[in-house]
Structure 1
Amino acid sequence: MYLRIVQRRLAPIQNNLIRTYKYQSKVFGYNAELKTHGNTEEIANSLRDYNQARQANPHAALLIDAYRKHGHRLATIDPLGININTSIPELDANIFTVDFNVTNEDDVRSLFGGLSRQRSIPKTKDDLIRQLEEIYCQSISLECEHIESDIERLWVARRFEQLRTSETVSDDIQQRITEQMRRCETFDQFLQAKFPTLKRYSGEGAEGMMAFFDLAFKHSAQLNIDNVVVCMPHRGRNNLLVCLLNYPAATMFRKIKGKREFPNDVKSTGDVLSHLYTTTDLTYDGKNVHVSLIPNPSHLEVN
């Protein structure tokens, strides 16, 4: 009798454990039901067109897949020119047989996102390889094979191809990005010169984050989003505070020198340099967005 009571009481717990720790998709833990965002009919139609294009051009599909998986390995992203691959077996042109015989250009465009309306349809294998190398083997490339969802991985690859071939960045935007990165770099150089022993978690090597945050805040303002809350790790945090979020540099330097952050009659102490926070209003094209970089009192937050 006692055993039956215990079993009945343990049953909900056992069921919960099974539910919580089931193993799916290489993730040890409970997986919530996947929700599809956007127009599901549009996604289904796009996927159907893509599959039809693969069936009509199977050899071209294999070649495109190869560059999507391995093209980044030939990208010229080593500024010192030390580790540069000139060829890899997976992209050896001799192992691919491509015969287009295109009768419907839309089929090929569905297969390869790099074909904008302004670009000509490749007629030979060499034409396709040249276009793929322009996209994946230059100073910017893409590696997205870690994405488990086939639909998401395909969307990322096609979107990257479209951006690389059909969209350009205006001179004004390029100048703004350059100014932001230079400001970030100069800030690090100044701290290194004035406070050489400071553990500052610099943003060196990640100056591009300034352009990312600036664009994210700009789009938020354009979408009439009132508040943006940012949670980030230590590295580059001070750069973002001073160079984009209007945190007073003098206040930060005062803290670095060990001076009090509060009036003398206030019995309190501040946090360490890498846990500073701020809140500010940014304006883009006449629209405001309130941005808050939250405090970092522990290392337990999800970044």
Structure 2
Amino acid sequence: MKELTLAYHSLSETDLDTTFNTGSLVAPDQLTLREIIAQLEATYCGSIGVQYMHTTSTEQKRWVQQRLESVRSTPTFSPAEKLEILDRLTAAEGLERYLHTNYVGQKRFSLEGGESLIPMLNTLIQHGGSLGAQEMVIGMAHRGRLNVLVNVLGKAPALLFGEFEGKYANNGDRTGDVKYHMGFASDMMTPAGRCTSPWHSTPRIWKSLARWCKVRFVPAKTVGMMPVATKLFRWYCTGMRHSRGRA
């Protein structure tokens, strides 16, 4: 890629030890070109792929940049955090292998290759709960939905396996990939406090309880997930205001 060569920027190897202003780079105000390149390679040329420069908001781009460049894309995790990440990755991979082995030939939108989504979503929900979030709405495309339902939201695996075998909580003439179109809601444990985890096949409005983080899963086509998720969230907020008014 010519944009990443020294010549493209009218530079050469003779400039490597020249000092330059670092601009928005998360680094001291001035570094040699050699040091700047080394930092950029450590951050963006490792095993983590990053794409955020297309974002129109400068504030959002700087937010991502700060978190990547300040640790060179190598965050430090405690042993407990590493074990939690490994546990979530293992659970995600294990579910995909089980479905692939036991339901051969059935239509499946696997998460294989993207298992890191599971610990990522789990971290977002847990961190959001610690910051006081009480409601989250997840809207996503087909790929990986079932894994998110089981390994993030806590849907009972037996229910999922039953759906693969044509058994549904609400009897009816259901065929095809309907299991990918099922809504779901659950209460999740967060660092801010304890909560129960009932399972629901249809959305409902809960009375607001501090320290609870309630998560709704919205099945939607890729092009339509945001409007659906946004509408559900607004519907919930309206219900919450009415509930508080009656309290």
TM-score by length of 2: 0.69
- Measured in 2, the distance between the counterparts of 1:133 and 1:228 equals 36
**Which of the pair has the greater relative contact order for Cα pairs under 8 Å at 6+ separation?**
2
What CA deviation, in whole Å up to 9, does each residue of 1:98-148 have, x standing for no partner? 6327xxxxx75x6321x27xxx963x3222222221112111243333223
Structure 2 residue aligned with 1:100:
19
- Structure of larger gyration radius: 1
Segments of 5+ residues of structure 1 without an aligned counterpart are 1-87, 102-106
1:164 aligned counterpart, secondary structure: coil
Q: What is the identity percentage for the equivalent residue pairs of Structure 1 and Structure 2?
A: 25
TM-score by length of 1: 0.57
Segments of 5+ residues of structure 2 without an aligned counterpart are 194-211, 230-247
Structure 2 residue aligned with 1:209:
117
The residue type equivalent to 1:90 in the other structure is: E
Q: 2:180 is matched with which residue: 271, 274, 281?
A: 274
What CA deviation, in whole Å up to 9, does each residue of 1:182-214 have, x standing for no partner? 111110111111001111211111111112211
The residue type equivalent to 1:292 in the other structure is: R
The residue type equivalent to 1:194 in the other structure is: N
Structure 2 residue aligned with 1:91:
4
Aligned pairs for 1:104-143 within 5 A: 108=22, 111-113=24-26, 115=27, 122=31, 124-143=32-51
Distance 1:221 1:134, change over 3 A: same
Structure 2 residue aligned with 1:292:
216
What CA deviation, in whole Å up to 9, does each residue of 1:137-182 have, x standing for no partner? 1112433332234554344334421242684222222221121111
Please tell me whether the aligned partners of residues 184 and 218 of structure 2 are also in contact (alpha carbons under 8 angstroms): yes
- Measured in 2, the distance between the counterparts of 1:295 and 1:145 equals 29
Matched, 1:183 2:96: no
Distance 1:125 1:218, change over 3 A: same
Q: Number of paired residues? A: 201
Coordinate RMSD, CA, aligned: 3.0
Please tell me whether the aligned partners of residues 48 and 73 of structure 2 are also in contact (alpha carbons under 8 angstroms): no
- Measured in 2, the distance between the counterparts of 1:257 and 1:189 equals 17
Q: 1:222 is matched with which residue: 124, 130, 142?
A: 130
